[in-house]
Amino acid sequence: MAVFNLNINGKQHEVDVDPSTPMLWVLRDHLDLVGTKFGCGIAQCGACTILVNGLATRSCITFVDSVGDKEITTIEGLSENGDHPLQKAWIEEDVPQCGYCQSGQIMNAAGLLNANPSPSDEEIEMAMHGNICRCGTYTRIKKAIKAAANS
Amino acid sequence: MTTVKTKLDRRSFIRSSALAGGGLLLTFSWLAPACTTDSPKQLTMPDEWYELNGFLKIGNNGAVTIMSPNPEIGQNVKTSMPMIVADELDIDWKFVMVEQAPLNTDIFTRQLAGGSQSIRQGWNGLRMAGATARRMLREAAAHEWKVPVDEITTEAGVLYHTGSGKEAGYGEMASAAAELTVPEEVELKDIKDFTIIGTSRKNVDGPKIVTGKPLFGLDYKAEGMVIAMIEHPPAFGMKLKSFDATEAKAMPGIIDVFAIKTYNDDYEWQWSDVTSFTELVAVVGKSTWEVMNAKLMLNVEWEPIADDNAQGVPVGKENTTDHYKKMEEAAANSSRERRRDGNPEEAFKNAAKVIERTYTAPFQAHNPMEPMNFFADVKDDFAQLAGPTQTPEFMENTVAARLGLPLEKVDVQMTRMGGGFGRRLYGHFMVEAAVISQKVKAPVKLIYSREDDMSYGIYRPAYHALYRAALDADNNLIGFHVRMGGIPDSPLHANRFPAGSVDNYLAESFSVDTNISTGAFRAPGSNFNAVAEQSFLDEVAEAAGKDPIQFRLDLLKRAQENPVGSNNDYDAARYAGVLEQVREKSGWDTNSEGKSRGVAAYFCHNSYVANVVDIANKDGEPVIEKVYASVDCGIVVNPDAAVNMTEGSIVDGIGHAMYSGLTFSEGQPEQNNFDMYRLIRHGEAPKEIEVHFVENNIDPTGLGEPPYPPVMGALANALYKANGERYYHQPFVKNSIG
């Protein structure tokens, strides 16, 4: 076990965990930030996506000891009042069905828009390739990302 | 004007009471049958379904709360079911709060998500509840204002009396209404007067979903809760022999490691129980990561299940290659007749042309994005459970039996489900969580890893179908033969189209035993029938030199005007209706030049869907440019949500037909995570989906399943147009990972 000081959603958090613990479980089990979802554990589904220094990252394979003082953003910290352009677009397009994968989709899209504020359809498809939606809401996700990019 | 009864014989479908703190509480049977005065005998459901299980609350401040009685699995019933109540109540939707109803209070029973039945079965009961509340509020106002009740009108949650100019919000009359007797009969709105039904309302949980609020079972937390995982046999046909937990127990954060039995020896199985792995090793610890690591340190010995096992499970370790051979043999040797019209043998003998094709499909894992999990807190005299389940009530029975507690001492709360697709009908994980909690005497959250989830599946069965068609010299379809089976169940629906449209028809089924656990998977049976049958009909139409839509419409015309046989279980006019609509909307007759298009239509779970799929070739790879859908599910309650459900089903159908399959080697699933089991991804979805609904005033039917099967057939037929190849075996893409 070791103590880590983490910068999450603009606040400092101290956790005492095994250094090999993935950020996914640090967030979910130790900090009660459960918006970040467990889907596969091997970076194949994208449900656990967070931003590390603004970059979309799979938290299930990001070990706590690799994070240092980097800025972590989770779905809970994407905006203060749920009014990030992506969150608003997600509501407007009424994207979710079961909803489980959607925080990962939104965080991945946020990483995409950070790097590329007005992505083409093809760029959206490529950037979102790693995020599975089992309910099949892909067409709406694409619409929502484009709407957010244009806002 | 339609009138419905609120009671029949001595049975009441609705009950009123005063709300603590002021207001009206109505509890009602959301599964109340269509007790209209026109058809009082329309009673086909078992008695217990009439129990009061819906819930409507009007506070004296005017706040309206509607409990959504059914589990929310992504089919959006948590929004659409309350919409039905709110419309009859005549309240502004923005004043309505929606809550998920808990299970196992006095008032909620028979809660199940499955078979696309929530809206269909809830329609009358939900309307009755809203209409009854509105009637009672009007009566209360009439009494207060001393005017005839017929003169009281309502609009958007306000009661009006035009003559005297009086008006009052619902909240002001709610407590007085609670004093009244429930009327025995209430009037329902005319369909043309609906103000909420038929308008698009956003998912009531949307804001919580996009901000990551705890909604799902996996997010559940309780004071003092520990984490548990299970280790199950690596292969079907195996069971626990012995284990050494020394190393696992020594791992940090580990509380205990022990074996559990999911069922008592003398337990009587019910349909939602699973018999494949009934003895497991449980690892319990303080955090998920610590438990995952300790699980790796387990030393477990497994052995083949006994010949005379209590569950009657067949022995042996099965292989995919044998599965297909066994189905072929069973098809040839042990098929049983399910329907016969005319003289099919004679028709095939006299045919000018016979077309014969075989189709197969693999086992598939449900793979809801939220892996199986459940919370349980079992005390000596009471058990509390919470989590994602499609069958809370069935599993409550199983849990009570296993713990040795009376039913009323087991409480199951439903959380939102991160997908189900049929997987959460089978709640063995609830029993496992309960047994583990009982042993460690602490609140436990049981979590399956993705690998556990995929390798301890209740899979979609593997299927095999032989289709034969006989054409005469004029290319008329004079004989049709289907022989269809699966491991372990046949998906055959013998009385569905084209039964009823062909003079000489033969349907047969067969089945092959297995020890692999299987169960319902989105649109059970239909999820294979549609692709096989609709691909086959495309070939038959081609052999007959006919347009594939016209060919189907001609058959449906026959079924409508002069049906063969009497027990055809589809409405040929509605079937034809979706085909005609998709023909028009896709410009099939005017805009097909240069396009690789395929068509299919299917009926299941009481709704009708037709698709046209357009494919383009891009760098030698097929790209799905556009999918058209025409849907007849009766009245559409929440149109944009219905479009969403249809779009999702289309993406899901294409994905499973193209990419997804589970194979077995020596009883072991060969894929156990998404690096090996392929699911459709963003870029593979259609570039555009256009959904149309057939407008009518027929009571609504379900939409969770019907749009899933037909698109697979339309896809296969479009792929044929694009590359000249017919697709007989799923998944269509052979270079799928794994």
> How many other C-beta atoms lie within 10 A of the C-beta of residue A123?
14
Res B306 pLDDT > 70: yes
CB B362, CB B410: distance < 8 Å = no
Fold held by B217-311+372-447: Aldehyde Oxidoreductase; domain 4 (3.30.365)
Q: Kindly indicate the confidence band of residue B204, based on its pLDDT and cuts at 50, 70 and 90.
A: confident
CB contact under 8 A, A82 and B207: yes
Q: Taking residues B615-627, what's their average pLDDT?
A: 90
**What digits encode the pLDDT tens for the residues B259-282?**
999 988 777 777 778 888 989 999
The span from the CA of B181 to the CA of B719, in Å, is: 63
Predicted pLDDT of residue B653 = 98
Res B441 pLDDT > 50: yes
**Looking at CA atoms only, how far is residue A21 from chain B in angstroms?**
6
The span from the CA of B587 to the CA of B576, in Å, is: 16
Q: If you count them, how many residues does chain A have?
A: 151
| Interchain CB contact of A82 with B (< 8 Å) | yes
For domain B335-363+459-723, give the CATH number: 3.30.365.10
Backbone angles phi, psi at B648, to 5 degrees: -60, -40
Instruction: For residue B322, give Cα distances in angstroms to B190, B341, B361, B463.
Output: 58, 34, 14, 13
A41 contacts on B by Cβ (under 8 Å):
292, 449-451, 673
Nearest to B370, CA basis, from A43, A49, A133: A133
Q: How big is the A-B interface in CB pairs under 8 Å? A: 193
Res B455 pLDDT > 50: yes
Strand ordering across the sheet containing B23-28: B14-18, B23-28, B54-59, B64-68, B96-100
| Interchain CB contact of A4 with B (< 8 Å) | no
**Looking at CA atoms only, how far is residue A3 from chain B in angstroms?**
16
Which of A45, A100, A122 to substitute to test the interface with B, most B CBs within 10 Å? A100
The span from the CA of B333 to the CA of B329, in Å, is: 6
| Interchain CB contact of A2 with B (< 8 Å) | no
CB B206, CB A90: distance < 8 Å = yes
Cβ neighbours of residue B477 closer than 8 Å, sequence gap 6 or more? B469, B470, B471, B498, B501, B502, B540, B544, B555
Predicted pLDDT of residue B649 = 98
Kindly state the tokens that stand for B304: 């083949």
CB proximity under 8 Å: B 443-462 to A: 447, 449-451
The amino acid at residue B328 is E
Res B49 pLDDT > 60: no
DSSP string, B216-231: BGGG---TT-EEEEEE
Predicted pLDDT of residue B196 = 95
Cβ neighbours of residue B598 closer than 8 Å, sequence gap 6 or more? B538, B548, B612, B613, B615, B713, B714, B715, B716, B717, B718, B719, B720, B721
CB contact under 8 A, B689 and A1: no
Predicted pLDDT of residue B737 = 55
Res A138 pLDDT > 70: yes
Cβ neighbours of residue A11 closer than 8 Å, sequence gap 6 or more? none
The span from the CA of B209 to the CA of B192, in Å, is: 34
Res B315 pLDDT > 60: yes
Res B1 pLDDT > 50: yes
**Looking at CA atoms only, how far is residue B679 from chain A in angstroms?**
8
The span from the CA of A139 to the CA of A121, in Å, is: 10
**What digits encode the pLDDT tens for the residues B85-113?**
899 999 999 888 887 665 443 333 334 44
Q: Could you name the CATH architecture of B3-205?
A: 2-Layer Sandwich (3.30)
Angle of helix A102-115 versus helix A85-92 axis, rounded to 10: 130
CB B365, CB B383: distance < 8 Å = no
Backbone angles phi, psi at B688, to 5 degrees: -150, 140
The span from the CA of B438 to the CA of B103, in Å, is: 21
Kindly state the tokens that stand for A147: 């709407």
Domains, in order of start, for chain A: 2-77 (3.10.20.30), 85-150 (1.10.150.120)
| Interchain CB contact of B521 with A (< 8 Å) | no
> How many other C-beta atoms lie within 10 A of the C-beta of residue B543?
15
Instruction: For residue B656, give Cα distances in angstroms to B531, B729, B730.
Output: 11, 12, 8
Kindly state the tokens that stand for B70: 């059914």
**What digits encode the pLDDT tens for the residues B500-540?**
999 999 999 999 999 999 999 999 999 999 999 999 999 99
Res B40 pLDDT > 50: no
| Interchain CB contact of A62 with B (< 8 Å) | no
A41-62 as b/e, with b when 16 or more CB fall inside 10 Å?
bebbbbbbbbbbeeebbbbbeb
| Residues of chain B above pLDDT 90, percent | 73
Q: Where in chain B is the domain with CATH 3.30.365.10?
A: 3-205, 217-311+372-447, 335-363+459-723
| Interchain CB contact of B43 with A (< 8 Å) | no
Res B19 pLDDT > 60: yes
CB contact under 8 A, A99 and B219: no
**What digits encode the pLDDT tens for the residues B696-722?**
999 998 888 999 999 999 999 999 999
ipTM: 0.98
The span from the CA of B25 to the CA of B57, in Å, is: 5
